[in-house]
Amino acid sequence: MLCEERGARLRVAPINEAGELRMDEFEKLLNDRTRIVAVTHVSNALGTINPVKRIIELAHKRGIPVLLDGAQAVPHMKVNVRELDCDFYALSGHKMFGPTGIGILYGKRELLNRMPPYQGGGDMIASVTFEKTTYNTLPYKFEAGTPNIADAIGLGETVRYLNRVGLDRIAAYEHDLLAYATKVVSAIPGVRLIGTAKEKASVLSFLLDGVHAHDLGTVLDREGVAIRAGHHCAQPVMDFYGVPATARASLAFYNTREDIDRLVAAIGKAKELFG
């Protein structure tokens, strides 16, 4: 959208077959005309955990701000924006098991102070006359109109809940689940894993020979196994692998190895039906 509005040029960092960013190529893309680097912390389509700390360091050496999409990261690991030194960090409530339609945008104070409001409305002004408007201080400058009070309270409770469970405990438990799922699912004849990065969150994307991901999702649903099927809002990734869609099992701390065994059995059922 920004490219259409401003005539900016979008330059894309390539990935390898494992679904990892090619950091040598990424670094070559940075120059004195680069205005911002935007990168996913964890890929929702592949589970890859990108080396965001290194990305930020490389960008900051050239004075380039960095925006991280952390929607898929925050439910699975501790995130400290100060330690990362990112300039902006965005996340969504529903991926943290909280309310839909609400999220968080973190930004460094000095950058947010320099930015104009993107919309007008109540509470984002300090004073108004017909000649001049003075904007409110942060964060109110960017929160025009009646706030989403109920969901904000719900999102706060979500954060407290995750902290009580312990994100370090969650990360360790989900790592074990992912290792087990990767082993047993990849052992099924005809299954191809999509995204095999060394550093991954608990996302398992895969295909079954001769079966469209949507059909596979339907069969698994009837077997009581819930997955997502499609391009996962990541069509360029699907194009890279030469596939129209993938089936994606997203594992969380409420899952068990028994759930994974049911997934394997359901894939076996699909093989029988489409064999």
- Is residue 86 annotated as part of the catalytic site, yes or no? no
How many helices (H) and strands (E) in the chain?
A: 10, 10
How far apart, in whole angstroms, are the C-alpha atoms of residue 209 and residue 193? 11
Is residue 179 within 8 A of residue 199, CB to CB? The reply is no
How far apart, in whole angstroms, are the C-alpha atoms of residue 197 and residue 237? 14
Q: Is the peptide bond before 139 cis (omega within 30 degrees of 0)?
A: yes
Dihedrals φ, ψ of 255, to 5°? -85, 165
| Nearest alpha-carbon partner for 97 in 50, 49, 38, 167 | 167
Fill in the amino acid letter for 221. D
Q: Residue holding tokens 């405990």?
A: 169
Catalytic one of 129, 198, 233, 254: 233
How far apart, in whole angstroms, are the C-alpha atoms of residue 122 and residue 147? 10
Q: What are the start-end ranges of the H helices in the chain? A: 2-6, 23-29, 52-61, 81-84, 109-114, 149-165, 167-186, 213-222, 235-241, 257-274
Return the active site residues. 233
